A = this chain, B = another copy of it.
Amino acid sequence: MGPVVKKTKAATEVTIAGLKFKNPVMTASGTFGYGAEFAPYMDLGRLGGIVVKGLSLYPRQGNPGPRIAETPCGMLNAIGLQNVGVDDFIERKLPLVRNAGTHIIANIFGETVEDYMEVARRLDGAEGVSALEVNISCPNVKKGGIVFGTDPQEAFKVVSAVRKSTSLPVITKLSPNVTDIKVMVRAAEDGGTDAVSLINTITGMVIDVERRRPVLATATGGLSGPAIRPIAVRMVWQAAQAASVPVIGMGGIMSARDALEFIIAGATAVQVGTASFIEPDAAVKVAEGLEEYLSKNETTVQDLIGSLRTA
């Protein structure tokens, strides 16, 4: 072996559950397809990671339309978790991005704890999957449709079940539709999660006053975009104070400035969601803007994480 060269750690590098990310900017699940769709618009290798569309055990058709509605500085969606299913993902989608030079994180969900476990198991051996993100904002059919993510006991059950079903790092994605996010952070930690990510969308509704009907076919949907950013930043801050595992923040990030709010509030990494619909390469631009801020301020992401001064 040659002489040991001490490498200077890049200013943008972060580590979550043992995984090194070249920068802390990932794309959010459901807003970036299975990754390959965005290759024409950017170099995917510029991203810290790609979180793919939520995967279920079997393919899902999703909800009838209309599925989206614009709101002030935001949008509602009720896609209904349409996806190709975990097997088809592994067979046909994963090969397209596994060599893109970025971490591929599989977002998973189910209607029962067993569903979650089985999806996790099938992804365990899949070459090119770096981690699982467990979306617990789903109705638990066995518990009469209450959402896994709003009941700490159910959240604990699903997280610990996934934990046992995989050797991959587990990120638990939390729902913001709760009274106290800290309770949910603790439930996920008790379940053995390696990190938490938040926020998922906030339940909302838009009504067409001429037709006196909800705009969305499903009546309610999930609110995302800059409108929710102040709520997301607050929850990430609260979660980071309660958490002993790393926190991944998201909700309305449109620019590097927005991403910095989350990092300063305590997030180790961020995800860019709705912004990718408006500018396909939004996440890359966020990563670039972050680099600029770091070099201008001669600091590192590591030093910024949780650097908020509140006194």
User: B-contacting residues of A (Cβ < 8 Å)?
Assistant: 71-74, 76, 150, 177-180, 202-207, 209, 212-214, 219-220, 223, 225-231, 233-234, 237, 252, 257, 260-261, 264-265, 293, 304, 307-310
B207–A233 touching, CB < 8 Å: yes
**In the complex, chain B residues whose CB is within 8 Å of the CB of A257:** 209
Complex: A150 Cα to B182 Cα, angstroms: 14
Is the contact region of chain A dominated by helix, strand, or loop, or is it mixed? Answer: mixed
Complex: A207 Cα to B261 Cα, angstroms: 6
B230–A223 touching, CB < 8 Å: yes
**In the complex, chain B residues whose CB is within 8 Å of the CB of A180:** 150
Distance in Å from the Cβ of A138 to the closest Cβ of chain B? 15
Complex: A34 Cα to B265 Cα, angstroms: 37
- 24 sample A-B contacts, Cβ–Cβ < 8 Å, listed by A number: A71-B229, A72-B225, A72-B226, A72-B252, A73-B73, A73-B74, A73-B227, A150-B179, A178-B179, A203-B234, A204-B233, A206-B261, A207-B233, A207-B261, A207-B264, A207-B265, A209-B261, A209-B264, A212-B304, A212-B309, A213-B310, A219-B237, A220-B234, A227-B228
**In the complex, chain B residues whose CB is within 8 Å of the CB of A293:** 209
Complex: A286 Cα to B293 Cα, angstroms: 44
A310–B261 touching, CB < 8 Å: no
**In the complex, chain B residues whose CB is within 8 Å of the CB of A309:** 212-213
**In the complex, chain B residues whose CB is within 8 Å of the CB of A308:** 207, 212-214
Complex: A225 Cα to B220 Cα, angstroms: 20
Write the chain B residue with the least CB distance to A69.
Answer: B230
**In the complex, chain B residues whose CB is within 8 Å of the CB of A265:** 205, 207
Q: In the complex, given contacts A73-B226, A220-B234, what are 16 additional A-B residue pairs having Cβ atoms less than 8 angstroms apart?
A: A71-B230, A72-B225, A72-B226, A72-B252, A73-B227, A177-B179, A203-B234, A204-B233, A205-B234, A207-B264, A209-B257, A209-B260, A209-B261, A212-B307, A214-B308, A227-B227
**In the complex, chain B residues whose CB is within 8 Å of the CB of A209:** 257, 260-261, 264, 293
Contact of A230 with B212 at beta-carbon distance under 8 Å, contacts A73-B73, A179-B179, A252-B72 already known: no
Cross-interface CB contact of A230 among B76, B229, B237, cutoff 8 Å: B76
